Structure 1
Amino acid sequence: AKISKKHHILEIGFGWGSFAVEVVKQTGCKYTGITLSEQQLEYAQLKVEQAGLQDRITLLLCDYRQMPNEDKYDRIISIGMIEHVGHDYIEEFFTCCESALAEDGLLVLQFFSIPDERYDSHRQSTDFMREYIFPGGCLPALSRIISVMAAASRLCVVHVEEIGIHYYQTLRCWRNNFLKNKRQIHALGFDDKFIRAWEYYFDYCAAGFKTCTFGDYQIVFSRPGNVATFGDPYNVTVSTVY
């Protein structure tokens, strides 16, 4: 994402706030994050306060369609959120990003994906994840993301990386940590049915990534002619990169 101290970052769907704290610690940038979850907002605000970063980090309860854009953002980042947007609204998502992004800015997405050949059947049906874990969600195909991006914005792809095999390892770690803390989960009021559902989710997804039937993409989007960000390839200088 080529983030430096001078940049103002927008994260769409900041989760539990880990990226917010880490990116500001490492780069000193200004950060704004939005979420629809009151619980995540409360938890992340506490995390920011504990890190002493209230002067650099702003967290808002806000839909991406109403996100503040008085100032253009140098970088827009969204990790694992576009899967919740849904097939019919991805174009609107890119339109909003186009409107909020500075002319020489970058948009970085990370998302679970499904193979192109299975996309139509996936979005028109239901499965375990869509019914029990992420109601209303839809794993996009890579081709859907690229085609909608081209239709809704001036953005173009400058980098693509598929990291699914690494996500397999992440899911195994999550599963192990989850089961190690089963007693604490029960203490929070959750029953064995809840625990079995999430254990199955971790195994289900891990199997998908290990067999390459799910993908996990990181894509960097820019506008054509963005020399200010990428510079002269024959006169490279070291910059702060996160």
Structure 2
Amino acid sequence: MSTSRVDPTVVSQPVPDESRWPGLATPPHSPLRARAAEALFRHAVKSLDVRVTFPDGTVLGAGGPDAPEMRIHRPAAFFHRLGADAKIGFGEAYLVGDWTADDLAGVLTPFAERLATLVPPFLQRFRRIAERMQPSEEENTVEGARSNIHRHYDLSNDLFSAFLDESMMYSSALFGPGDTLTQAQHRKLDSVLDYAGVRKGSEVLEIGTGWGELSIRAASRGAKVTSLTISKEQKVLADARIAEAGLSDRVDVRLCDYREATGEYDSVVSVEMIEAVGASYWPTFFSTIGKRLRPGGQFGLQAITMDHDRMLASAKSYTWIHKYVFPGGIIPSVQAIEDGMRENTRLKLAGMREFGQDYARTLKLWRDRFQQRWDDIRGFGFDDVFRRMWEFYLAYSEAGFRSGHLKVHQFGFSDPR
């Protein structure tokens, strides 16, 4: 197999703008590492249910003619990127068109299913030497967290409005029979609010406002809500949506880090915000919840999770997702959440549900809508590299949930006092 041939249909793609995507256009050059990466890749894909095709006609993978196809157009660049840093280079190669796929989530799912075994065991012992660690400047201090959140959630309210449903929920829906996405998002909110015991007269603290839908739902039950966000863009739209719902007298959205929260509440609710906290700050996050709850209070939490051993193995790794989508993030395990609550609060686990396949379905709906609305999104100032970045991010995430590598849980905790 030659790794130097180039697919002429891909060469004409625009070169990434250096001011937006510094260093992305030029692949790293490390022949020894590239050869090693190629050998590992060929070994890994030979047992996966995919078809990997090359410009010279070579086909790898265990998949038949109907299996999802990964087309490698620029093998030399692909393997040099993979050799330099596999956890970042694989995604970067997609951003620049070194490889493409019609069924992107279908290609990525078999990789996600075998994630723990793609690298042979005798090489995994060298992981800490070869892998990049998360940079210190992305540590989730109060200032660092604001910077990290700004890089994703302050991209553009118009962008998120383009592919989310009318609820503007950017977290997994919980589908019932025949539900639309909006109905499934409301089902999810009702579930987590029930776990938190939110009812008429409740005083509620929400950690992580999003664009206001949970606050609106809680206030519609007759609760009074204080909601915390560190995204200026989200606060602007959340305030507007809350006002439009006629609930401004019942909801107070504050630009405030959870560590700076004050007061006591009957209920605390947080939906998919813990992933941005950082493992070193989990004790602070959990203890803050305990301090903010009145005796007898309840906490409703929704969190993306992964198996505990995988969490420990990847806790400090710097991946494509960190570099391009969620700097400073780490996904907890169920055990990490339960241990953290037990060690830092008086609260006891009162209920839990898992619905990871609903997240795969949610992500597919978002990605379909993102692709359908791309012409509108392009008009907000985003380029084709950004389009491929978000297609890869949404498909990569969908594959994680489809494979079971990632899950999503709702938890209910209660104070027995």
User: In the TM superposition, what is the alpha-carbon distance from 1:95 to its structure 2 partner?
Assistant: 0.8
Q: Which residue of 2 aligns with 1:57?
A: 251
The question of 1:116 aligning with 2:297 is answered no
Q: Which residue of 2 aligns with 1:38?
A: 232
Q: Which residue of 2 aligns with 1:160?
A: 352
The question of 1:13 aligning with 2:208 is answered yes
Q: Which residue of 2 aligns with 1:24?
A: 219
Amino acid aligned to 1:42: V
Q: Deviations over 1:66-93 (max 9, x none)?
A: 1121xx2111000010000001010011
Q: Which residue of 1 aligns with 2:334?
A: 142
- Of 83, 89, 98, which residue of structure 1 is paired with 2:281? 89
Structure 1: how far apart are the matches of 2:372 and 2:213?
21
Q: Which residue of 1 aligns with 2:268?
A: 76
Q: Which residue of 2 aligns with 1:172?
A: 364
Structure 2: how far apart are the matches of 1:30 and 1:140?
30
Structure 2: how far apart are the matches of 1:55 and 1:24?
9
Q: Which residue of 2 aligns with 1:182?
A: 374
User: In the TM superposition, what is the alpha-carbon distance from 1:14 to its structure 2 partner?
Assistant: 0.9
State the TM-score, normalizing by the size of structure 1.
Answer: 0.89
Higher relative contact order (Cα pairs below 8 Å, separated by 6+ residues):
1
User: Runs of 5+ in structure 2 lacking a partner?
Assistant: 1-193
On the 8 A contact 2:296/2:416 being kept in 1, the answer is: no
Q: Which residue of 1 aligns with 2:395?
A: 203
Q: Deviations over 1:38-89 (max 9, x none)?
A: 00001101111111111111100000011121xx211100001000000101
Q: Deviations over 1:84-110 (max 9, x none)?
A: 000101001111111101111111111
Structure 2: how far apart are the matches of 1:65 and 1:167?
29
On the 8 A contact 2:271/2:301 being kept in 1, the answer is: yes
Amino acid aligned to 2:317: S
Amino acid aligned to 2:227: G
More strand by proportion, 1 or 2?
A: 1
Q: What is the Cα-based RMSD across aligned positions, in Å?
A: 1.1
- The alignment of Structure 1 onto Structure 2 pairs a total of residues equal to 222
Q: Deviations over 1:7-34 (max 9, x none)?
A: 0111100111121112222x12111100
User: In the TM superposition, what is the alpha-carbon distance from 1:128 to its structure 2 partner?
Assistant: 2.0
- Using the aligned pairs only, state the percent identity: 35
User: In the TM superposition, what is the alpha-carbon distance from 1:160 to its structure 2 partner?
Assistant: 1.1
Structure 2: how far apart are the matches of 1:116 and 1:196?
31
User: In the TM superposition, what is the alpha-carbon distance from 1:210 to its structure 2 partner?
Assistant: 1.1
Structure 2: how far apart are the matches of 1:195 and 1:18?
27
State the TM-score, normalizing by the size of structure 2.
Answer: 0.52
User: Runs of 5+ in structure 1 lacking a partner?
Assistant: 226-242
On the 8 A contact 2:267/2:297 being kept in 1, the answer is: yes
User: In the TM superposition, what is the alpha-carbon distance from 1:178 to its structure 2 partner?
Assistant: 1.3
Equivalent residue of 1:43, what SS? helix
**Aligned structure 1 segments of 4 or more residues deviating by more than 4 angstroms:** none
User: In the TM superposition, what is the alpha-carbon distance from 1:121 to its structure 2 partner?
Assistant: 1.8
Equivalent residue of 2:290, what SS? helix
Q: Which residue of 2 aligns with 1:234?
A: none
On the 8 A contact 2:295/2:416 being kept in 1, the answer is: no
